[in-house]
């Protein structure tokens, strides 16, 4: 083909000078350093994680209580973005998408209760490394876990968003698989989250399961050995007592996880995330106040506690927003408490192993508190 010739338009001298000055100004601007780029990537990783739960579903790790397990199964009213999207598509030319997905949910309804559908590739996403480094989050191993047994890992404290539990037991960024070879970690969350379209797929792909007797029982009895089910024992109610400098756990009357461990012969493993309560600032209402009673009543009705809290803003650490502060979190996994298999354990047996678990947790806290940001005078309150 002959070369294509374009007419050359004259460029005014003033415009040429302005262009040259603009180029010089652009070149004079310092390029961001590698440290700045890493900080931006870390901030974006945390932002996408927070938004995914604020827009798709209401995040919260469920607790278990009483002599029998009482799952929190209420769907959350704020996690409706995905549901609204599917309803909107019904009234457009893309209505077959909603119809097909509805048929899929009906067909796939019981999957969360039977081991879920985890995707190892999601646990290896590079975004989780940036998420880990933002705080940073660290996992500490104190004892081996044999793949010949199943385990219930008690995760403490709940905090506001369970960052330590999520990062250590759902993502592979802190090296759980390398520290505990042959162990498959799962994390329980509110069963209502698995009623939300699209969000349920996201949860299952990471290894989350409902905090129900059926789901936990399946993992401990019908999924082989080497399963470690992490349960945030304090649940949503514990988030109401989340404040820096004071560690209060709701554990004294929460014994359903011990009964489950006895029924399936699963060893009990305490874990504690130092720094979890420092990620947000919360307005804590005193016991007996009318605001506290409203929070507690709402928590009983809806399955999660409405907390008044704030973190840092998106553009500045000094501004207030919904992002967590960058505070180090160290999750220490303690020594397993060996538990026999008893199909119908007595109340006395449950109380005995619950007391053994509490003693093991207190020992773990006291031996590590001064290593990871607390003073020797700090105490662990169990209510």
Beta carbons of 62 and 190 less than 8 angstroms apart: yes
What number of H helices and E strands is found in the chain? 14, 12
Q: How far apart are CA 217 and CA 227, in angstroms?
A: 11
- Angle, helix 256-264 to helix 213-221, in steps of 10 degrees: 30
Handedness of CA 121, 126, 130, 133 (dihedral sign): positive
Which residues in the chain land under pLDDT 70?
1-16, 26-29, 54-81, 241-246, 284-286, 295, 299-306
Strand partners, 139: 331
Beta carbons of 380 and 247 less than 8 angstroms apart: yes
Quick one: pLDDT at residue 25?
Answer: 74
Quick one: pLDDT at residue 60?
Answer: 53
Angle (CA) 15 21 25, round 5°: 145
Quick one: pLDDT at residue 370?
Answer: 94
What are 219's two structure tokens? 């993992």
Residues constituting the chain: 383
Quick one: pLDDT at residue 182?
Answer: 96
Q: What is the pTM of this model?
A: 0.84
Quick one: pLDDT at residue 192?
Answer: 82
């Amino acid at each position: 083909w002959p070369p294509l010739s374009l007419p050359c338009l004259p460029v005014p001298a003033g415009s040429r000078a302005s262009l040259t000055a603009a180029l010089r100004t652009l070149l004079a601007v310092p390029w961001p350093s590698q440290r700045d780029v890493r900080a931006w990537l870390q901030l974006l990783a945390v932002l996408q994680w927070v938004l995914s739960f604020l827009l798709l579903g209401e995040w919260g790790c469920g607790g278990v209580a009483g002599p029998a397990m009482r799952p929190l199964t209420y769907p959350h009213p704020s996690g409706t973005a995905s549901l609204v999207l599917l309803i909107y598509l019904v009234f457009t030319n893309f209505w077959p998408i909603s119809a097909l997905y509805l048929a899929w949910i009906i067909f796939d309804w019981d999957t969360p209760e039977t081991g879920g559908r985890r995707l190892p590739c999601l646990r290896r996403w590079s975004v989780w490394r940036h998420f880990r480094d933002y705080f940073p989050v660290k996992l500490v191993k104190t004892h081996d876990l044999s793949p010949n047994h199943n385990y219930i890992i008690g995760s403490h404290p709940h905090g506001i968003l369970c960052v330590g539990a999520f990062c250590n037991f759902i993502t592979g960024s802190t090296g759980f698989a390398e520290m505990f070879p042959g162990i498959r970690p799962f994390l329980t969350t509110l069963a209502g989250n698995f009623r939300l379209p699209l969000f349920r797929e996201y949860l299952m792909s990471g290894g989350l399961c409902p905090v129900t007797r059926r789901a936990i029982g399946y993992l401990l009895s019908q999924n082989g050995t080497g399963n470690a089910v992490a349960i945030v024992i304090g649940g949503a109610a514990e988030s109401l007592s989340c404040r820096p400098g004071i560690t209060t756990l709701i554990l004294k009357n929460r014994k359903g996880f011990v009964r489950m461990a006895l029924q399936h012969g699963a060893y009990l493993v305490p874990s504690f995330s130092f720094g979890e309560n420092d990620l947000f600032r919360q307005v804590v209402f005193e016991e007996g106040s009318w605001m506290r009673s409203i929070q507690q009543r709402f928590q009983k009705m809806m399955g999660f506690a409405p907390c008044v809290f704030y973190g840092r803003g998106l553009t500045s650490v000094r501004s207030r927003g919904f992002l967590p502060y960058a505070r180090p979190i160290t999750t220490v996994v303690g020594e397993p408490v060996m538990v026999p298999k008893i199909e119908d354990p007595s109340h006395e047996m449950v109380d005995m192993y619950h007391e053994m678990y509490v003693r093991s947790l207190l020992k773990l806290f006291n031996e590590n508190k001064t290593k990871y940001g607390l003073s020797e005078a700090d105490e662990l309150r169990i209510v």
